[in-house]
Structure 1
Amino acid sequence: MDKMSKSHEDYLEAIVMLGGAVGSSVRSVDVANKLGVSKASVNKAIGLLKDKGLVEQPYYGDITLTEEGSRYGRTVLDRHRMLFFFFTQALGIPEDRADKEACLMEHAISDESFEKWRSYIASLGLE
């Protein structure tokens, strides 16, 4: 799948973090609270994610990730966690700054570059 906007990746990541997976759902209001956005913003984003086949949501119902949406959301979350760990543990960056910067970088780095970085970190025994 092609790379999506930072905003849409954030929605998928938030759904995964809230426990949403294939077969389990989350409420729009919980996604709104997690991301600090309005419920209307969530509904608009979910509509676009539905069009891409990444989530399912019956009319005004709870949000469920499709297989592809779950895979994409987990990938974004894994990137965030790995970057956060590296920043805090290997570089000693304070957690609040590391979290913000990991969120920025998780969206910007290409899949190819991230995999090369992941392999390098693993070769150092830091993974």
Structure 2
Amino acid sequence: MVKTSMSHEDYLEAIVMLGGTTEVPVRSVDVANKLGVSKASVNKAISALKEQALVIQPHYGDITLTDEGYAYGSSVLGRHRMLFDFLTKAVGIPPEVAEEEACQMEHAISDASFEKWEAFVKGLDV
């Protein structure tokens, strides 16, 4: 899988969170609202994601994920959810703090380390 920037990973994750798939498009304005950014920022990020073949968007149309884009966005979201659950349930970090820290951690941890962490957490039954 092509690796993209942390910012672009956030866009893919947001699209998946909004219900976007390879079949179901989302609107740019909804992505902007979800991430708290301008529509111009969304358009710039989507242009970069189109170049990486992670999204499809006709000229100023709705955004649809490619197969690879959906897999990537779903993976980032899955990491976020597991890290959030671990931080809140196993460590006892308040949800608002855990949300921010999970968002940072989901981008920084390697795939190999995440797989080991995930196996460890599954063993904890968190």
How many residue pairs align between the two structures?
Answer: 126
Identity among equivalent positions (%) equals: 68
CA-to-aligned-CA distance 1:50-96 (integer Å, 9 cap, x gap)? 01000000011000000000000000000000000001111110000
Q: Distance in 2 between matches of 1:125 and 1:85?
A: 11
Specify the alignment match of 2:105 in structure 1: 105
Unaligned regions of 5+ residues in structure 2, if any? none
Specify the alignment match of 2:118 in structure 1: 118
TM-score (norm: length of structure 2): 0.97
Q: Distance in 2 between matches of 1:72 and 1:64?
A: 13
Q: Distance in 2 between matches of 1:29 and 1:95?
A: 27
Specify the alignment match of 1:70 in structure 2: 70
Specify the alignment match of 1:51 in structure 2: 51
Specify the alignment match of 1:8 in structure 2: 8
Q: Distance in 1 between matches of 2:84 and 2:123?
A: 18
The residue matched to 1:26 in structure 2 has which SS? Answer: coil
Q: CA deviation at 1:4?
A: 1.5
Q: Distance in 2 between matches of 1:123 and 1:39?
A: 42
Unaligned regions of 5+ residues in structure 1, if any? none
| Cα-Cα RMSD | 0.8
Q: CA deviation at 1:119?
A: 1.0
Q: Which runs of 4+ in 1 moved over 6 A?
A: none
CA-to-aligned-CA distance 1:25-51 (integer Å, 9 cap, x gap)? 000000001001110010010001001
Equivalent position amino acid for 1:113 in 2: S
Q: Distance in 1 between matches of 2:33 and 2:120?
A: 36
The residue matched to 2:114 in structure 1 has which SS? Answer: helix
- Which shows bigger deviation, 21-30 or 114-123? 114-123
Q: Distance in 2 between matches of 1:25 and 1:32?
A: 14
Equivalent position amino acid for 2:88 in 1: T
TM-score (norm: length of structure 1): 0.97
